[in-house]
Structure 1
Amino acid sequence: MLIAILTGFIFAILLFFGGKRLVINKLALLPTLIPLGLFIYFIRFIGDISNQNFIYKTYEWIPSLGVNLSFTLDGLSLLFTLLITGIGTLVFAYTSSYLKGHPYLDRFYAYLSVFMAAMLGLVLSDNLISIFVFWELTSISSFFLIGFNNDSEASRKSALTALGITGVGGLLLLAGGLVLGNISGSFSIAEMLGQKDLIQGHEHYILAACLIFGAAFTKSAQFPFHFWLPGAMKAPTPVSTYLHSATMVKAGIYLLFRLSPLMGDTQFWNTTLMIVGGITMLYAAFHSIFRTDMKGILAYTTISALGILVFLIGLGTQESYLAAGVFIIVHALYKATFFMMTGVVDHQAKTRNVTELAGLRKVMLPVAIAGILAAISNAGIPPSVGFVGKDLIYEGTFHFEHSAILLTILAVLTNVFISYAGYVAGIKPFVGKLPEKFEKVKFPSIFLWLPPVLLGSLGFIFGLFPVLIQDALVKPILWSIGQDAAEVHLKLWHGFTPILGLSALTIGAGILLYFLLKPSQKLEHSITRFEKISPKSIMEGVNTVFMMFSAFWTRTFQNGYLRNYVSTIILFLIMLMGFTLIGGTTYHIDYASFAKLTIYEIVILFVLVFAIGLIVFAKSRLAAVVATGIMGYSICLLFVFYSAPDLAMTQFAIDTLTVILFVLVLYRLPKYLKLSDFKVRIRDGVLSIAFGALITILALEVLAQPVNSEISDFYAKNSYLLAHGKNVVNVILVDFRGADTMVEISVLAISAIGVFGLLKLRLKSVERYQK
């Protein structure tokens, strides 16, 4: 399984090196072989999974931290891998024609491949930390895909919004995983399942659940985090098809499904999911009936469908889990069909406005067939699999033990609105008289109309023969979350029951609404008037306030003046250490040690004070630099007096190099310094003296403490044995603290390169005055 996951990443790297040569002209279909091969690979496991022979693989990664690449292929993960690779195959083929001739087609395929690999890693991982890693990779790759048309400001803004919302969710997922790992002692979900009672009885259970909710709700566009999804429709249609209908937006659903056996069956978990899912599904479905852009309609119905899934998981019964599992399949098929169909219409007719579109069946009949098939499945009209899915949803709500009537009414209203939106997006553009401006619309390529027709047809094949998915996919889903699936039998016809009446009511109300409510700009404007109080506007308002605060903070504390940075840091340290002094900490300073000062030390002390005074009051830059060198050389003498000639030589070399660098940098500047205002100098002087006094007190306190030679003894005993060096100091610098020394050398090297660049910089007279 690890190789299967890495395949997408490897192919993306090949595209990086191979570039356009791998996807030009007839080779544009070549990338389709990657998801197709993976689909064939995973479909081979259907037999084993349907017999409950789940597959587990573990690869060591960071075993010391309990983080391994553990993969599980069970019913739930198999379903998602088949959706990712199966729909991915059609999306790759669709892309070859949709973006034919695009200068960055190779880059687009690379992003898609990375996303596919990340999604496979996410749904196959058993370790919460590795899930987080792949979770973030999906967010990053989706950022590049949403913002693929980077010359568009709207695309860039949408990509940033999506990355911001889902990025916060990723952070919450990491925090939730750490909390659960801390409670259970393991990051493996399989191992956590054996400690369900411990986790649910722990005081941090609510915190862990809230963090998981935050991750799932942001990724799967639940209210009030839903607004990033309609904005993401600025992406090319293959992105909307792949990410925003079948795969990425269902990552949160997958997470909730996977963790329900561990964290479910509690009032907090189930009630939260029911409330959030219920609000989302009705809110988004209602909004969808006001939209006129086909992608906008599909975006809001997608949000509503995700709300339905969260709502069903929240019900927490076998019937609701069954309904959720089937609905994942149903929604992926018809929504991917919808998006592909919309892409063809936009690609050929150059518009997605349903108020302008009509009669397109005359110029693109296969696309019209795909749209009609998707609309029928979306509305739950027999013999589509959508009918089976809608029936199961009503079974879950109608038989729920609490507020069954209210929950069923909410589900019916939601499905009526979704049905209407499906008719508008999937049927209206193709019926009626063909406008004159669309008469010359060209018939689309086979790679544009065949994928949506195939997906739409599968919706009817699975509806007529639901046994095809019953044993292969649906039952294993229930087994993977610990549910009994022995009595599960998917049927198109269950006889005359109240559930059939609810389905008939939904179909009839949806059709009636379609004929009574005509989409228009006026209707859309009626809902956009409330945009100011929408979650998006509120979030943007919060973002504006944050930006204002950030601007204030930057102007005040990070304004580019080094003196301000240093002053702020020193002031904070003075306050921190001063608070410690005021707090009553007793200091033990050995004042008697002052009498042991030698004449050499006193002379050097006076030299240092003189050099400091020279630096403070010098008016020449060169004099200040020379005084700095005097301070460094004085410290070198102290090292010599204390029998540390190697440190003295090191200090001598560093100070010499520093003085030379300063001279090289400053020699082009004016010769004399313009000193700051007298008040500013007084302020800086007081700040410096206070800080120096605190450091002196701390140094004297350290000197008064009993000497602990444990570390020194360790280095003395092991320097030769472990590092084969007789000079203890050198061994510490090169071996025991080698990484630190390497960083210090790197800093010096970077500084030298920067100075060299400044010395070699030769600007034209015009460039010197350009901002």
Structure 2
Amino acid sequence: MLTVVLAPFFAALAAPWLVRRLDRRASFVLALVPVAIFAWTLSRLDAFAAGLTDVTPWVPGLDVALAFRLDGLSGLFVLLISGIGTLVVLYAGGYLAGHPMLGRFFVFLMLFMGAMLGLVLADDLIALFVFWELTSLASYLLVGFQSEKPAARRAALQALLITGTGGLALLAGLILAAIAGGSWRLSDLVLAGEAIRGHGLYLPAMGLIVLGSFTKSAQWPFHSWLPGAMQAPTPVSAYLHSATMVKAGVYLLARLDPAFGGTAAWTTTLLVIGGITMLAGLVLALLETDLKLVLAWTTVSALGALVFLIGPATEDSARAAMAFLLTHALYKGALFMAAGNVDHEAGTRDLRDLSGLVRAMPITFAATAVSSASMAGFPLSLGWVSKAITKAAAIEAGGFVPVAVVTFATLLLVAIAGVVAIEPFLGRKSEAAKEAHEAPPSMLVGPLALASLSLLFGLFPDLVSDAVLAPAASAVAGVPLAVEAKVIKPFDWTLGLTLVAFAAGAALYVLWQRRAELWRDRLEPVLSRGPDAGYDHALVGLARLAAWQTRLWQPGLLHRYTAATFAVIVVATLAALFRGDLRLAFPLDGLRLIEIAVMALTAAAAIVAAIATTRLLAVTALGMVGIGVALIFMLFGAPDLAITQFMVETLVVVLLALVLVRLPGFRLSATADRPRALHAAIAGATGLLVIVLLLGVLAEPFDSRLSEWFARTSVPEAFGHNIVNVILVDFRAIDTLGEIIVVFAAALAGLAAIAARATRRGAR
């Protein structure tokens, strides 16, 4: 499985070279990678029920592994990612033929594919999070591919900020889930559902995981980034909306449903947010005139429907969610590719400028018609089969509301299917249609293949129900399930309700054609204040907050930084001390008069340095403090440290005195920005804290294991008899290297400042 995940990343490395050699034909070579992954997954259909595991150590010291698991749920996603990915790669070769950045595009696309495969196959929580963030990064690159457009840059940044923020919440939630479940493996957490739901961390873990999933899968109120992502080229839109990133949140909710589902908090949150997102997406789809945006809002609605179906955590809801997941992937991928064909060949995707394309683009129309029928849930399509399973899940959820929501969504979907399939293709030829022609074969394979599968699986649902949908639903429910998919069902009240919804949707479409512009104008003031505008206001507010806190915390005054740093250290350390058991020792026996004199001299020099009003007096007093410390070293048997301290203090005092003499204004500043009383309090508290800590350390018995280890290993392992040197150079080599780098960087900065001053003098 590691090879399956890494293959697209290696393909990404080879993509630029292939494009330089083969141009658009490189898509045929790159498509072999997802084709091989698709074939590999198909060959393991029989293992979906039991599951396959592959573990490769990654960070053994932290017990982090590249652990992958292939079961019914991840297998369904791998089939969609690789199967639709193959068609998207072929489609991109035709859609972007001649584009100067085609090689770069394939790099981003293959990275996206590999990240998504790693996400759905990952069984280790840390690996899952890494791939989760890689999908956000890859989508940022794809959405902003046309970086010369300000709208594309804005959309890419919006997607990255929203999904990236959700990713941080997800990381915290996964950590809490691992603590509650006692494991960092998803497969273990699924089996530890009872322990997780009964743990005190359940609610915060659930809230954070749901938040991360909602941002990724564009749930209200985080949905605005997904329609904005339509700035990406159509191959990206087709892949993003059908099989990849937007389904990642749905995947995680479905994966964790056995562990977190079944509680009122889980069910209510998913039902409410999923229902709002589902209906809001459909209403907003009707208000759009851009064909891709219509489809984008229906994706938002479909993601809401999937969350809505996962919410009840029942067996029927698991069946319905998996059936609709497959249905949506097939029809949405086909519809986006068809929309790309219309835009590519007619020169526009504005529905107000499109009509009569059926003669110029009959194959695209056929794929659009079949896929739109599946989206609406018409008979003989896979949408009809999944609609029946969804109705059963709504009835099992209980109450009037779930059935009403599903019925109303069906009504709106019928009207939207009319907008997508009828308006661009039927009717009088528009100006755009007069110059249009059918797309090249590479751009027709994708929509035709996916539309044909929607029709094939609708007529013969047993082809996927037992081998694919049943293992996936079983993984979501946590128990073995069978999926009964019927093409023809006896007439009952649910079928009658569906037929009524079909008729009402057709009537709404006819009415919508006449009143659409009026309703758009009336709702525009309301929609302009929606979540997308809220995102812009949030960015402005964040910038203002950053400017305010920068003025507060970074005024360029060193004494304020120092005071804040020591204040935080004092408060944090005192909080830790009060929570612990602190014992103090007062070793006053054997204290000599000379030691008292040296300490008094050092303390007096420190006080003088603090209250000095001239720079020269302050520097001199600081030098006395350093000499006092050197004397303490001498008194306690550290002559080498004492000599070093004497040399450093003497040199520092001399150099500072020479520099300060050359500075104007030889007195220290006494501005109002120096609250001396506050600074004195912080300094006193810091000193007392250090005294308390030292007395606490002295109260503990001396542990000589480390010093004995240094003495024992210095010669045989580091080949040095001077233990201090060995510690600095070998055992603490990285620490010492860091100190050297700091000194070196400071020296370079000083050299640059001197050189700049010399340059300015030369210029004058």
User: Post-superposition shift, 1:627?
Assistant: 8.7
Amino acid in structure 2 at the alignment position of 1:524? R
In the alignment, which residue of structure 2 is the partner of 1:35? 34
User: Post-superposition shift, 1:670?
Assistant: 7.7
Gaps of 5+ in 1: none
Residue 644 of structure 1 pairs with residue 621 of structure 2? no
In the alignment, which residue of structure 2 is the partner of 1:11? 11
| In structure 2, distance between residues paired with 1:673 and 1:31 | 71
Which shifted more, 534-543 or 230-239?
534-543
In the alignment, which residue of structure 1 is the partner of 2:671? 679
In the alignment, which residue of structure 2 is the partner of 1:180? 177
Change (3 A) 1:440 1:764: farther
Residue correspondence of structure 1 range 661-672 to structure 2 within 5 A: 671-672=663-664
| In structure 2, distance between residues paired with 1:89 and 1:649 | 73
Indicate conservation of the 8 Å contact 2:411/2:505, yes or no: yes
User: Post-superposition shift, 1:718?
Assistant: 3.4
Which shifted more, 178-187 or 190-199?
190-199
In the alignment, which residue of structure 2 is the partner of 1:721? 713
Indicate conservation of the 8 Å contact 1:23/1:30, yes or no: no
Residue 406 of structure 1 pairs with residue 401 of structure 2? yes
Counterpart selection for 1:595 from 593, 596, 610? 593
Change (3 A) 1:603 1:326: closer
Residue correspondence of structure 1 range 139-158 to structure 2 within 5 A: 139-158=136-155
In the alignment, which residue of structure 2 is the partner of 1:199? 196
Indicate conservation of the 8 Å contact 1:147/1:155, yes or no: yes
User: Post-superposition shift, 1:625?
Assistant: 8.3
Amino acid in structure 2 at the alignment position of 1:253? V
Which shifted more, 241-250 or 704-713?
704-713
| In structure 2, distance between residues paired with 1:335 and 1:582 | 60
Residue correspondence of structure 1 range 431-470 to structure 2 within 5 A: 431-470=426-465
| In structure 2, distance between residues paired with 1:366 and 1:138 | 33
Counterpart selection for 2:551 from 544, 551, 555? 555
User: Post-superposition shift, 1:302?
Assistant: 0.7
User: Post-superposition shift, 1:91?
Assistant: 1.1
User: Post-superposition shift, 1:638?
Assistant: 5.3
In the alignment, which residue of structure 2 is the partner of 1:566? 562
Residue 740 of structure 1 pairs with residue 739 of structure 2? no
User: Post-superposition shift, 1:707?
Assistant: 6.2
Which shifted more, 716-725 or 195-204?
716-725
Cα offsets for 1:338-363 (capped at 9, x unmatched): 11112222223332211111122233
Residue correspondence of structure 1 range 76-87 to structure 2 within 5 A: 76-87=73-84
Indicate conservation of the 8 Å contact 1:294/1:352, yes or no: yes
Residue 530 of structure 1 pairs with residue 521 of structure 2? no
Alignment partner of 1:530: what SS? Answer: helix
Residue 693 of structure 1 pairs with residue 684 of structure 2? yes
Cα offsets for 1:499-556 (capped at 9, x unmatched): 3323322332222222221275443232221135534444544554443222211112
User: Post-superposition shift, 1:687?
Assistant: 4.9
In the alignment, which residue of structure 2 is the partner of 1:509? 504
Change (3 A) 1:692 1:565: closer
| In structure 1, distance between residues paired with 2:595 and 2:568 | 33
| In structure 1, distance between residues paired with 2:269 and 2:196 | 18
Alignment partner of 1:61: what SS? Answer: strand
Indicate conservation of the 8 Å contact 2:615/2:668, yes or no: no
| In structure 1, distance between residues paired with 2:92 and 2:752 | 46
Indicate conservation of the 8 Å contact 2:15/2:26, yes or no: no
Which shifted more, 57-66 or 297-306?
57-66
Residue correspondence of structure 1 range 217-232 to structure 2 within 5 A: 217-232=214-229
Residue 752 of structure 1 pairs with residue 747 of structure 2? yes
Residue correspondence of structure 1 range 94-105 to structure 2 within 5 A: 94-105=91-102
Indicate conservation of the 8 Å contact 1:557/1:565, yes or no: yes
Residue 248 of structure 1 pairs with residue 245 of structure 2? yes
| In structure 1, distance between residues paired with 2:30 and 2:701 | 64
User: Post-superposition shift, 1:370?
Assistant: 1.9
Indicate conservation of the 8 Å contact 2:331/2:450, yes or no: yes
User: Post-superposition shift, 1:113?
Assistant: 1.6
User: Post-superposition shift, 1:167?
Assistant: 1.8
TM-score normalised by length of structure 1: 0.87
User: Post-superposition shift, 1:460?
Assistant: 0.8
Indicate conservation of the 8 Å contact 1:292/1:521, yes or no: no
Cα offsets for 1:384-439 (capped at 9, x unmatched): 11111122212222x32621x33222111112212222221233111122223442
| In structure 2, distance between residues paired with 1:576 and 1:271 | 40
| In structure 2, distance between residues paired with 1:432 and 1:673 | 86
| In structure 2, distance between residues paired with 1:194 and 1:104 | 47
Amino acid in structure 2 at the alignment position of 1:528? E
| In structure 2, distance between residues paired with 1:491 and 1:262 | 31
Residue correspondence of structure 1 range 140-539 to structure 2 within 5 A: 140-397=137-394, 399-400=395-396, 402-403=398-399, 405-482=400-477, 488-518=483-513, 520-531=516-527, 533-538=529-534
Alignment partner of 2:355: what SS? Answer: coil
User: Post-superposition shift, 1:105?
Assistant: 2.3
Cα offsets for 1:650-688 (capped at 9, x unmatched): 657877998999999x89x9843576652348x365455
Amino acid in structure 1 at the alignment position of 2:4? A
Amino acid in structure 1 at the alignment position of 2:736? T
Alignment partner of 2:424: what SS? Answer: helix
Q: CA RMSD in A?
A: 3.7
Alignment partner of 1:434: what SS? Answer: coil
| In structure 1, distance between residues paired with 2:577 and 2:117 | 57
| In structure 2, distance between residues paired with 1:660 and 1:28 | 71
Indicate conservation of the 8 Å contact 2:7/2:114, yes or no: yes
| In structure 1, distance between residues paired with 2:478 and 2:586 | 71
Amino acid in structure 1 at the alignment position of 2:107? A
Indicate conservation of the 8 Å contact 1:388/1:491, yes or no: yes
User: Post-superposition shift, 1:67?
Assistant: 3.5
User: Post-superposition shift, 1:459?
Assistant: 1.0
Indicate conservation of the 8 Å contact 1:22/1:106, yes or no: no
Residue 126 of structure 1 pairs with residue 127 of structure 2? no
Gaps of 5+ in 2: none
Amino acid in structure 2 at the alignment position of 1:647? L
Change (3 A) 1:225 1:602: closer
| In structure 2, distance between residues paired with 1:577 and 1:208 | 29
User: Post-superposition shift, 1:15?
Assistant: 4.8
Alignment partner of 2:435: what SS? Answer: coil
Of all paired residues, the percent bearing the same amino acid is 36
Change (3 A) 1:358 1:761: farther
Indicate conservation of the 8 Å contact 1:149/1:155, yes or no: yes
User: Post-superposition shift, 1:88?
Assistant: 0.8
Change (3 A) 1:363 1:661: farther
Amino acid in structure 2 at the alignment position of 1:376? A
User: Post-superposition shift, 1:163?
Assistant: 1.8
Change (3 A) 1:730 1:628: same
User: Post-superposition shift, 1:252?
Assistant: 1.4
Indicate conservation of the 8 Å contact 1:577/1:694, yes or no: no
Change (3 A) 1:646 1:437: same
Indicate conservation of the 8 Å contact 1:319/1:395, yes or no: yes
User: Post-superposition shift, 1:30?
Assistant: 3.0
